[in-house]
Amino acid sequence: MAQRRKKIIIIGGGLAGLSAAMKICESNAEVVIVAYQSLKRSHSVCAQGGINAAIDSRGEGDSPDRHFYDTIKGGDFLAEQPLARDMCYKAPSIIRLMDRMGVAFNRTREGHLAFRRFGGTLYSRTAFAGATTGQQLVYSLDEQVRKYEHDGMVQKMEWHEYLGAVLDSKGICRGAIIHNLRTNEIFTLAGDAVILATGGPSRVYANGSTASTVNTGAAATMAYMQGAKYANGEFIQIHPTAIPGRDKLRLMSESARGEGGRIWVPKKPGDNRDPLDIPEMERYYFLEERYPLFGNLVPRDVASREIYDVVYNQNLGIDGQPMVYLDLTHKSKEYLQDRLGGILDIYKKFTGDDPKLTPMKIFPAVHYSMGGLWTDYETDSEEMIEPKSPRNQMTSIQGLYAAGEADCHYHGANRLGANSLLSCIYTGLMIGPGVLSYAKNVSKSKEDIPSSVFEDAKSYWTGRFKSISKMNGSENPYQLHRDLGEMMMANVLIVRDNKTLDRAYNSISDFETRFKDIKCVDSNDWANPTPSFINQLYCMIHLSKIITKGALLRDEFRGAHFKPEFDLNQPSDFDPHEYIHYQEQQNFGEVSGDAFPPSHLAYMKRFEENNKKWLKTTIAQFKDNQPNITYADVNTSLLTPRPRKYD
């Protein structure tokens, strides 16, 4: 008797979800893709600048090992090294795969793939399709999945929302609870495994984020509330270049700096002259002056802190406002249109100024979460990833997996630009064999699960949404969300301190109280987004607890988590290689007192002690309505952690 095909439920239709669907279907399994909106509108399309791979077409000496080193160093050594290495090793084959699928990558005159530089590296390793790389990748993967949809192996459920996992009596994931956003019907799907590829949580910062309205983090937060571990939530990436706007902030891609964009402010505070009338000698190119080696392409956490310092500590913001210039006017119009046309059109559309003719005004904005659901992985004796292990990308809930921005292990304390698209596609492709291995060997199949398990889950969520629709208090949910976002922007952003964080964490209980007094401003049964948004807001309140408490308890300065009080004050003339020599001396005997300058030796001892305490993954688990925080060791077996330096 022929066995039925395994059925995998994928939540999310972006790069991670589509690549997972393609890989799973290649192994003759069925897939249901559940997407909050049209797949071609998934947030992956908003990624503009490119995707990293060390192909070294320019002969600069780049390699996957250098890519791995830059990734680990950029993340301040908090990433899981076996996973990051495997991702960087697989990157060239991923680019070639996408190229064969028809992604319209830019090319050189000779017909080779073109590459640009991005932040945190000295090599040109970012492949790109103009300034719409994410969109081109999504469209190509969607095309591949459509082939399997035609063959009956893929079912797409667009405009449907994931509410939670169906868990059996042993806490094993057996399916998903789904909400039809048009009809408001709530139903369950049974599956052999569920993959969450639902993107990031940046909307917890409301309009201070570059993210789409769908990036609430609700799916991952609900998994956390059902028992999954949430890791490194405090590490929120602030992108240094966003377009200020009254409604929200919009991304200005790092590719603008990769193509020669220069960040500067007038040297004179309050200088209100037209930027083109300000002579070169009166401009302060602060990134180039402070970081001559990397210049405007320092990692994002470094650039954001420097912009913050120039604007708020030196009072050099444009016209006294929180803005600096990003200047491309020294490049030809033809060159800019070919390389950056898409993003420059966005700037012109929303500001009225043409960045080909006048410098852009930009400021940092919340952009990405390095943290997410904790996921497992398995390695062999040489720390290489076991490609078919059912543990790969599984959350702490058996049968529930996570991929893309929804997981936590690849970027550490700060993500390098153009590694996000890579990690999404990599985890999607990597997750497939392991998920199917799990589905084939799990003790009970979905047919063996009592129907009451699914009926109880449906009953709970049906009742919850009925209760939400009947809420008739005085609080507008959309205003409450804006207030939550403003609180997070004011207290849990670039510069952090414990007094402010403690106050912020305590204030979240006020938001919980206000939430109970919400009015469901629309109670219609058809195509009504309000009950869904109220449920998402409930998740965002809990997510704000994870972020804030994690930031409060982590008393150090690492990557995007900047607490000036705990800055180790690296000497300006310090060379990170000194720390390697310092450790070698420790391994072979005592450290010679005269081998290093006294200030360097004292700094290295501080760095060493700090790593013993804080080079760990933050683990949040839901307990008594609060995140219970513990810490887990990071796998640093491949690269010795050392101080970061970019000048």
Q: Which domains does the chain have, with CATH numbers?
A: 239-365 (3.90.700.10), 454-553 (1.20.58.100)
The per-residue pLDDT for range 49-92, each reduced to its tens digit, is 999 999 999 999 999 999 999 999 999 999 999 999 999 999 99
Q: Can you read off the two tokens belonging to residue 572?
A: 């300006």
Q: Can you read off the two tokens belonging to residue 303?
A: 């650039």
Task: Give Dmax (Cα) for the chain.
Answer: 81
Give pLDDT, residue 246: 82
Contact 410, 27 (CB under 8 A): no
What distance, in Å, lies between the first and last C-alpha atoms of the chain? 66
The per-residue pLDDT for range 193-218, each reduced to its tens digit, is 999 999 999 999 999 999 988 999 99
Give pLDDT, residue 588: 87
Q: Residue 591, Cα to own-chain centre: how many angstroms?
A: 40
d(CA 540, CA 534): 10
pTM for the complete prediction? 0.96
217: left (phi over 0), alpha (psi -120 to 50) or beta: left
Residue 159 has a CB neighbour count (10 Å cut-off) of 15
Contact 16, 426 (CB under 8 A): no
Give pLDDT, residue 1: 42
Q: Residue 78, Cα to own-chain centre: how many angstroms?
A: 14
Order of strands, edge to edge, in the sheet holding 324-327?
Answer: 250-251, 236-243, 360-369, 324-327, 262-266, 283-284
Q: Can you read off the two tokens belonging to residue 457?
A: 């889950």
The DSSP bridge pattern shows strands 124-127 and 160-167 to be unpaired
**Which residues are catalytically annotated?**
300
Q: How confident is the model at residue 447 (pLDDT cuts 50, 70, 90)?
A: confident
Q: What percent of the chain has pLDDT over 90?
A: 92
The per-residue pLDDT for range 356-385, each reduced to its tens digit, is 999 999 999 999 999 999 999 999 988 999
Contact 14, 197 (CB under 8 A): yes
66: left (phi over 0), alpha (psi -120 to 50) or beta: alpha
pLDDT of 2 higher than 80: no
pLDDT of 319 higher than 80: yes
Question: Which residues is 373 bridged to in the sheet?
Answer: 230, 407
Give the residue from 643, 634, 628 showing the smallest Cα distance to 553.
628
Residue 522's Cβ-side half-sphere holds a number of Cα atoms within 13 Å equal to 13
Contact 124, 112 (CB under 8 A): no
pLDDT of 459 higher than 80: yes
Cα-only R_g, the chain: 24
Candidate from 170-174, 457-461, 580-584 with smallest mean pLDDT: 580-584
Q: Residue 116 class from Cβ within 10 Å (0-12 exposed, 13-18 middle, 19+ buried)? A: buried
Q: What percent of the chain has pLDDT over 70?
A: 100
pLDDT of 480 higher than 80: yes
Helices in 27-132 by DSSP H: which ranges?
64-74, 81-100
Question: Three-state SS for 176?
Answer: strand
Query: What's at 467, amino acid-wise?
Result: S
Contact 471, 534 (CB under 8 A): yes
> What are the percentages of helix, strand and coil residues in the chain, rounded to 5?
40, 20, 40
Beta-carbon contacts of 615 under 8 Å, excluding residues fewer than 6 positions away, are 77, 78, 634, 636, 641
Beta-carbon contacts of 399 under 8 Å, excluding residues fewer than 6 positions away, are 172, 173, 174, 192, 193, 194, 438, 442
Mean pLDDT of 441-454: 89
Tracing tokens 């050392």 back to the chain, one arrives at 642
d(CA 412, CA 402): 17
Tracing tokens 């893709």 back to the chain, one arrives at 33
Give kind and range of the element (H or E) at residue 420.
Answer: helix 419-441
Give the residue from 413, 72, 396 showing the smallest Cα distance to 229.
396
Beta-carbon contacts of 636 under 8 Å, excluding residues fewer than 6 positions away, are 77, 81, 615
Question: Three-state SS for 172?
Answer: coil
d(CA 176, CA 397): 13
Residues, the chain, total? 647
Candidate from 257-261, 523-527, 561-565 with smallest mean pLDDT: 523-527
d(CA 419, CA 431): 18
